[in-house]
Copies of this chain bind each other. A is one copy, B any other.
Amino acid sequence: MSDRIAINSSYVEQIASLIEVNNFTELNLIIADLHIADIAEIIEDLSIENAHFLFNLIEEERSASVLVELEDDTREEILSDLTAKEIADGVIDNLESDDAADVIGELSENKKEEVLALIEDIERASDISDLLTYADDTAGGLMAKELIKVNENWTTIQCLKEMRKQAEEVKEVYTIYVVDDKDKLLGILSLRKLLLIERDTAIKDIIYTEIISVKATEDDEHVANIMSKYDLIALPVVDDLNRLIGRITIDDVMDVVKEEAEKDYQMASGISEDVESSDTAWELTRARLPWLLIGMIGGLLGAKVIGIFDLSGDNFELAFFIPLIAAMGGNVGVQSAAIVVQGLANDSLKMENIFQKLVKELGVGLLNGIICSIIILGAAFSLGYSLALSLTVSISLFAVIVFAAVFGTFIPLTLEKYNIDPALATGPFITTVNDVLGLFIYFMIGQAIL
């Protein structure tokens, strides 16, 4: 059994120096021992030249799988070095149809056609070309064509025979699908049942029909929610006539779940593009600028709001609590929006209940508002601020919290209604709007009381 190796930077440096001195023998030994996912991780950490060098050392059958494990930009870099012939024979030929389609999908239009034309197995080329027609973020974009299917009219013996034939092409057998003569999906056969059953049973008698399938056009997040809700390892994909056209496996869906979670998390943190800590400083800067710019616009609006009111005289003390009011408005808004976004993402929040949701959020806002405003009244007064100022801050805080809670709930629900990603609302928009409106509320109340 192979022990897992910690891919740390000293290990990567060691490999880099073996590459520098062209120590093929040692490198080949190391590569042969490593899991493809580990080789991919090392390639990510190497310089571009060294990455090409190492990639070319990997034996053909494994190099295709390594390619699939790479990040998009590294894969593009490696592919740019290969001819259409090398991609068709060395890469595509060694991949399942879904991975093959993903790789080809990343090529330029010209190269794409060239590669497709070079695939020798016509049926396979047509499978891949089919898969390319589906959008990346749909069930069709996730599915593979390889699967084991048997006819309902067969017996277990015929079935085993046919499966032996089909299994040569399918890397992993998760489920056996049962179809009728028209290829319509009827149910599945569990490998377990096949192991337990008499050899000459009719498939019809042991078929399990309580299964779940998806249409090829369904959204990938929806697919992920279904597979996770029903604890499925594989999910059959059908066309509009319920004919079996592919299957999605859990590992691909796991990637969707992780990517979606990362995207939402980054949006909530004000990062606008998909970046990683290993990206360049410029990529990281670019991903962060939009949100900072919106923050600046909010800041300038805030300055205008403060400018409307006369701060030069006795009212200058109002300035002390500007950070508190602005921060609290933003915070409450983000909290409210986050709960809605999460509820929508895992399908637990139903869109029909918008009104109920707003009423409940109003309740949460009132509770938080009352607690916070009582605390701040006591705290500010006992810290030596005047009663009038303490009262102003307390009342404003209450108003800002209630307003921000309702507004923070309303915005993502509205975005969802118009099919805009509601996670947008947890970032720039809510915070900035609440900052500015919060200040306005604060100064209005301040002028009335002071």
Contacts and interface: CB of A to CB of B under 8 A. Distances in A.
Size class of the contact patch on chain A: 35 or more
Interface string A25-38: 00000000001010
Contact of A364 (B209, B285, B321): B285
Q: Is the interface of A mostly helix, strand, loop or mixed?
A: helix
Contact of A254 (B257, B268, B292, B357): B257
A319 B311 CA distance: 9
B324 A323 contact: no
Interface in A314-339: 316, 319-328, 330-332, 334-335, 337-339
A271 interface: yes
Contacts of A170: 192
Contacts of A357: 277
Contacts of A117: none
A46 interface: no
Interface stretch (A118-126, A130-138, A368-376): A368-376
A235 to B, nearest CB: 12
B276 A160 contact: no
Interface string A351-367: 01100010010011001
Shortest beta-carbon contacts, A-B, top 4? A299-B324, A261-B261, A269-B338, A302-B323
25 contacts: A1-B187, A1-B210, A1-B211, A4-B212, A4-B226, A10-B352, A41-B229, A270-B334, A271-B338, A271-B339, A276-B348, A277-B357, A281-B363, A285-B367, A291-B331, A295-B327, A295-B331, A296-B324, A296-B379, A302-B321, A302-B322, A304-B383, A306-B323, A307-B320, A327-B432
